[in-house]
């Protein structure tokens, strides 16, 4: 596996792979790899000839009061995981090369960024769309893979790829969970043992929502109340939002008359976690 820091070197590796008719699969991450990431990587390995991943903690998607400065980093261990998962090239650029002095171009996917996390993290999805577009321009992959855990991100990026005619296939990967259902996340490493236990209530709450839906409940406020009750039993958990929205537009819905997304964001102590589940009639 090659570890590449230089943008031009990355561009030239990708360009020569394209000339050789190799199918390039790209998976962007912020590192501190876990089973969610390795799930994406293993899927990517099967789909292409050149598997590229990036590790870049993207300053501009963090708000001033958020955890950019403490975001977990362990590049040595990440290199081992990436190698084991069959990555060919790990792109690990420097922040000052990605956003040099004078940088001033940003990408906004207007409506899709408004609800859910966008309500609580102003500017977050502009930061996400901007870095993803930059990385896609550098690598110019045939396929990019994103996880369904960050569902809003997935929808925003899909829209951007389509709106800007990037001609890249975007594939999504299902949420990888730990033994008690907690979605794997780099941020889980911040949790104390007591917080880690409480964090399992997020998945429990999603399952409650699913159960109510399966039992025939279609009124969103009833499902949301049931979900909130599970979360509110845990005193270490403070709910940021519980929402049910349209899977494509991400707009709130009030009666579930179509396939819908049940999404939660909650703080466990100071750690903000998100998770979701799709409600579909069986
Ligand atoms: P991150 O490093 O957190 O920015 O995540 C990089 C990619 O991995 C994103 O596409 C995420 O949606 C995806 N990802 C993170 N955690 C999970 C998970 N538990 N299951 C599936 N995909 C995930």
Q: Quick check: is 164 in a domain? A: yes
Measured between its terminal Cα atoms, the distance across the chain in Å is 44
Determine the Cα–Cα distance for residues 2 and 170; give it in Å rounded to an integer: 24
CATH label of the domain that carries residue 136: 3.40.50.620
Token pair 């400065």: residue: 69
Determine the Cα–Cα distance for residues 126 and 153; give it in Å rounded to an integer: 10
Q: Is 132 in the pocket of ligand 1 (CB under 6 A)?
A: no
- CA of residue 147 to ligand 1 center, whole Å: 5
- CA of residue 184 to ligand 1 center, whole Å: 8
Residue finishing a domain among 122, 142, 173 = 173
Q: Quick check: is 50 in a domain? A: yes
Considering the domain architecture, whether residues 83 and 20 belong to the same structural domain is answered as yes
Determine the Cα–Cα distance for residues 267 and 211; give it in Å rounded to an integer: 24
pLDDT at 264: 98
Considering the domain architecture, whether residues 218 and 97 belong to the same structural domain is answered as no
pLDDT at 242: 98
Ordered DSSP codes for the chain: -EEE--HHHHHHHHHHHHHTTPPEEEEEE-SS--HHHHHHHHHHHHH-SEEEEEE---GGGS-TTSSGGG----HHHHHHHHHHTT-SEEE---HHHHS-TT-------TTTTSSTHHHHSTTHHHHHHHHHHHHHHHH--SEEEEEGGGHHHHHHHHHHHHHTT---EEEEEPPPB-TTSPBP-GGGGG--HHHHHHHHHHHHHHHHHHHHHHTT--BHHHHHHHHHHHHHT-TTEEEEEEEEEETTT--B-SB--S-EEEEEEEEETTEEEEEEEEE---
Considering the domain architecture, whether residues 152 and 197 belong to the same structural domain is answered as no
Considering the domain architecture, whether residues 72 and 192 belong to the same structural domain is answered as no
- CA of residue 36 to ligand 1 center, whole Å: 6
Give the pTM.
Answer: 0.98
Specify the residue with its C-alpha closest to ligand 1, atom 14: 147
Judged on CB neighbours under 10 Å (0-12, 13-18, 19+), 255 is exposed
Ligand 1 atom closest to the CA of 150, numbered from 1: 12
Residue finishing a domain among 137, 152, 173 = 173
Specify the residue with its C-alpha closest to ligand 1, atom 6: 29
Q: Quick check: is 42 in a domain? A: yes
Q: Quick check: is 178 in a domain? A: no
Q: Quick check: is 45 in a domain? A: yes
Considering the domain architecture, whether residues 141 and 212 belong to the same structural domain is answered as no
Ligand 1 atom closest to the CA of 177, numbered from 1: 19
Considering the domain architecture, whether residues 109 and 82 belong to the same structural domain is answered as yes
Given the residues 37, 92, 124, 142, the one annotated as active site: 37
Residue finishing a domain among 138, 173, 208 = 173
Considering the domain architecture, whether residues 38 and 110 belong to the same structural domain is answered as yes
Considering the domain architecture, whether residues 107 and 166 belong to the same structural domain is answered as yes
Catalytic: 142?
Answer: no
Considering the domain architecture, whether residues 154 and 239 belong to the same structural domain is answered as no
pLDDT at 174: 98
pLDDT at 100: 98
Determine the Cα–Cα distance for residues 123 and 64; give it in Å rounded to an integer: 11
- CA of residue 34 to ligand 1 center, whole Å: 9
Q: Which domain holds residue 145?
A: 2-173
Q: Is 30 in the pocket of ligand 1 (CB under 6 A)?
A: yes
Q: Quick check: is 129 in a domain? A: yes
Determine the Cα–Cα distance for residues 56 and 130; give it in Å rounded to an integer: 13
pLDDT at 282: 72
pLDDT at 267: 98
pLDDT at 281: 80
Tens digit of pLDDT at every position of the chain (282 positions): 999 999 999 999 999 999 999 999 999 999 999 999 999 999 999 999 999 999 999 999 999 999 999 999 999 999 999 999 999 999 999 999 999 999 999 999 999 999 999 999 999 999 999 999 999 999 999 999 999 999 999 999 999 999 999 999 999 999 999 999 999 999 999 999 999 999 999 999 999 999 999 999 999 999 999 999 999 999 999 999 999 999 999 999 999 999 999 999 999 999 999 999 999 987
pLDDT at 217: 98
Q: How far is CA 44 from CA 16, 52, 177, 253, in A?
A: 19, 9, 19, 34
Considering the domain architecture, whether residues 95 and 33 belong to the same structural domain is answered as yes
Both tokens assigned to 233: 């039993």
Considering the domain architecture, whether residues 37 and 140 belong to the same structural domain is answered as yes
Q: Quick check: is 180 in a domain? A: no
Ligand 1 atom closest to the CA of 183, numbered from 1: 19
Neighbouring residues of 53: CB distance < 8 A, sequence distance ≥ 6: 26, 27, 28, 29, 41, 44, 82, 87, 89, 90, 91
Considering the domain architecture, whether residues 272 and 169 belong to the same structural domain is answered as no
Q: Is 147 in the pocket of ligand 1 (CB under 6 A)?
A: yes
Q: Is 201 in the pocket of ligand 1 (CB under 6 A)?
A: no
CATH label of the domain that carries residue 268: 3.30.1300.10
Question: How many structural domains are present in the chain?
Answer: 2
Specify the residue with its C-alpha closest to ligand 1, atom 22: 147
Q: Is 185 in the pocket of ligand 1 (CB under 6 A)?
A: yes
Q: Quick check: is 194 in a domain? A: yes
């Amino acid at each position: 596996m090659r570890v590449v820091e230089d943008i031009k070197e990355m561009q030239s590796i990708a360009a020569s792979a394209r000339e050789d008719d190799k199918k390039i699969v790209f998976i962007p991450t912020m590192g501190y790899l876990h089973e969610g990431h390795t799930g994406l990587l293993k899927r990517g390995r099967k789909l292409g000839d050149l598997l590229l991943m990036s590790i870049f903690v993207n300053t501009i998607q963090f708000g001033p009061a958020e955890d950019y400065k403490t975001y977990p980093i362990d590049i040595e261990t990440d290199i081992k995981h990436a190698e084991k998962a069959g990555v060919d090239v790990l792109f690990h650029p420097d922040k000052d090369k990605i956003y040099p002095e004078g940088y001033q171009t940003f990408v906004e996917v207007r409506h899709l960024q408004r609800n859910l996390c966008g309500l609580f993290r102003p500017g977050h999805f502009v930061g996400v769309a901007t870095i993803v577009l930059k990385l896609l321009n550098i690598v110019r992959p045939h396929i990019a893979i994103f996880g369904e855990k960050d569902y809003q991100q997935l929808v925003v990026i899909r829209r951007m790829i389509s709106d800007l005619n990037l001609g890249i296939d975007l594939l999504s990967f299902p949420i990888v969970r730990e033994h008690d259902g907690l979605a794997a996340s780099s941020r889980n490493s911040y949790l104390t043992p007591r917080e880690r236990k409480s964090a399992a209530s997020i998945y429990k709450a999603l399952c409650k929502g699913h159960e109510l839906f399966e039992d025939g409940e279609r009124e969103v406020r009833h499902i949301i109340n049931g979900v909130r009750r599970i979360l509110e039993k845990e005193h270490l958990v403070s709910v940021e939002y519980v929402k049910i929205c349209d899977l494509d537009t991400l707009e709130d819905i009030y009666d579930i008359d179509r396939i819908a997304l049940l999404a939660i964001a909650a703080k466990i102590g100071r750690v903000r976690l998100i998770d979701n589940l799709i409600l579909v009639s069986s």
